[in-house]
Structure 1
Amino acid sequence: MIMNDTDNKNGMMGYVRVIHTVPDAPNVDIYADNKLIVSNLAYSKYTDYLSVPEGRYKISLYVAGTKNTPVLTNMLTVPKNSYLTVAAVGTLSDMEFLEIDDANIDQTLGKADIRFLHLSPNAPAVDITLPDGTVIFSNVIFEQITPYIEVEPMNYTLQVRVSGTDDVVLTVPNVNLSADKFYTVYAIGFAGKEPELQALLLIDGK
């Protein structure tokens, strides 16, 4: 997974980033076709998008600083002009890769688009609401990625509630959305134990 100037000039590139959302896992190294591409990635951290020639790659995850037996291996197809996020998800004893297509819809000029991704391995289904109880996304289960929705660009406070209830398990202030951008809110961590639930707001695509 090495950037090639010729491929880049010919528009043959895709873009891939990696995020570590496994709450009880150590720091990790990521290899593509046995080449180190991400080093010592800690829980809740993520990379910038990496420029990648279109193609199919063997992605392997190792405990950082080791290269004996991979914790996880999967194949990843990178189409040209695509933006992908590869998330390490689950728990240390039950880990997998989740491939996520980013910024993959048309956007209305002057609007923002946002979606939600539930990656807390022990949390129940949740609703994403505004503080007044208005439901934005409902009954989102573990590993579910909602569709993007179009909203006005402004600063929001979001709440994560146990689905169908008023039980707020996480408040996410200062969700500042700019026009002409795509965003994903990642809910990660454990419900009821450490590391506790938290939200990450990532800008998707260009």
Structure 2
Amino acid sequence: MTADTSTLTRTVAVGLAVVLVASLGVGSVVSTTQDAEGESATVRIAHMSPDAPAVDVQVDNQTVFQNLEYGDVTEFTELESGEHQVTIVTADNESVVFEGQLSLRANESYTITAAGEVSENATQGFEPIALRTDPAVPSENESVVRLAHFSPDAGPIDVTLRQSGEVVADNLTFGNATEYATLPSGVYTFEVRAAAEDNNGTVVATFNESLLGGTAYTAFAAGYASPEDAPADAPLQLFVEVDAGGETNASETQRTDRARQPEQAEETTTAPGETTTEA
């Protein structure tokens, strides 16, 4: 399969509303642009912190999402635009791990990602990161996908397609995402590489994913490139989630199972939605 090279640019997308949280303290703010009151925005939560426990998310003192484990991505939920009080607590004992204000702009969609690490001496401190998630829905024969980097120890990465050699992420750094790239629908092997000038660095891991026509995706690269040296046994994985178009299917269940059993990423397979790793 040949990708549309005009859309596979080597630029790292800006347009991420990012607030770094240096610790698990309270009073921090995740801020986007505020807009007209009385209108709504849509929000989902992605748990991509590999050493963090399961969490509940409260909005304005009401629990909106429960028992989110590492690798889980919620469905989009509609919230009024404007300011909201957001509290993230551990699911087991309700210890507060984040508390702050979230400002939403009307008629926009956001993915709020719990990223980084909670362990002492973390490589990347825990941080909630907001990505605007408003892709155009492609035609029935095409898909669009972007890569988001949330692996604490991977360093800058390139992502290439084994089938064509096309570059879908160039020197992508932690906490950032690429622009959406257009690809013909089909099965692709994504090769995650250590960033190199010619995009030919060492392959850290490979992932086989099926991209459906008329569907937009975010592929979250999360977990550890070197899990043997990490505070949690969570190997680098690719969690691919639908942003727009498409419908829920069996592959989403497979990804949820994989999130809860990360050791499966070490199995060799060519089935869509599964992963293989390479030294």
What range is the shorter-chain TM-score in? Answer: 0.7 to 0.9
Quick one: which amino acid aligns to residue 118 of structure 2? L
For 1:108 and 1:88, how far apart are their aligned partners in 2? Answer: 28
Q: Percent sequence identity over matched residues? A: 29
Q: 2:102 aligned with 1:76, yes or no? A: yes
Change (3 A) 1:27 1:150: same
For 1:53 and 1:62, how far apart are their aligned partners in 2? Answer: 22
Report the secondary structure of 1:112's partner residue: strand
Q: 2:91 aligned with 1:52, yes or no? A: no
Deviation at 1:79, TM superposition (A): 2.3
For 1:136 and 1:67, how far apart are their aligned partners in 2? Answer: 39
Q: 2:139 aligned with 1:109, yes or no? A: yes
Q: 2:200 aligned with 1:169, yes or no? A: no
Aligned to 1:3: none
1:27 to 54, 58, 75: 54
Aligned to 1:141: 173
Aligned to 1:180: 214
What is the number of residues matched between the two proteins? 193
Deviation at 1:76, TM superposition (A): 1.7
CA contact (8 A) 2:49 2:70 kept: yes
Report the secondary structure of 1:159's partner residue: strand
For 1:190 and 1:16, how far apart are their aligned partners in 2? Answer: 26
For 1:103 and 1:182, how far apart are their aligned partners in 2? Answer: 9
For 2:241 and 2:99, how far apart are their aligned partners in 1? Answer: 25
Map 1:91-110 → 2, pairs under 5 A = 91-93=117-119, 94-104=125-135, 106-110=136-140
CA contact (8 A) 2:162 2:188 kept: no
Aligned to 2:236: 197
Deviation at 1:108, TM superposition (A): 5.0
For 2:86 and 2:244, how far apart are their aligned partners in 1? Answer: 21
Report the secondary structure of 2:46's partner residue: strand
Quick one: which amino acid aligns to residue 212 of structure 2? S
Q: 2:75 aligned with 1:43, yes or no? A: no
Segment drifting more, 131-140 vs 28-37:
131-140
For 1:98 and 1:178, how far apart are their aligned partners in 2? Answer: 27
For 2:166 and 2:214, how far apart are their aligned partners in 1? Answer: 24
Stretches (4+) displaced over 6 A: none
TM-score by length of structure 2 reads 0.65
Gaps of 5+ in 2: 1-37, 120-124, 228-232, 246-279
The structure carrying a bigger strand percent of its residues is: 1
Deviation at 1:107, TM superposition (A): 4.9
Per-residue CA deviation, residues 144-199 of structure 1 (Å, 9 max, x unaligned), is 111111222222111101111431111110x2222222111100001111211000
Gaps of 5+ in 1: 1-10
Per-residue CA deviation, residues 40-70 of structure 1 (Å, 9 max, x unaligned), is 11111121111222222121111114345x2
Quick one: which amino acid aligns to residue 146 of structure 1? T
Deviation at 1:130, TM superposition (A): 1.2
The structure carrying a bigger helix percent of its residues is: 2
For 1:108 and 1:75, how far apart are their aligned partners in 2? Answer: 34
Quick one: which amino acid aligns to residue 132 of structure 2? D
Report the secondary structure of 1:91's partner residue: coil
Quick one: which amino acid aligns to residue 112 of structure 2? V
Aligned to 1:90: 116
How large is the Cα RMSD of the aligned pairs? Answer: 1.8
Aligned to 1:6: none
CA contact (8 A) 1:118 1:144 kept: yes
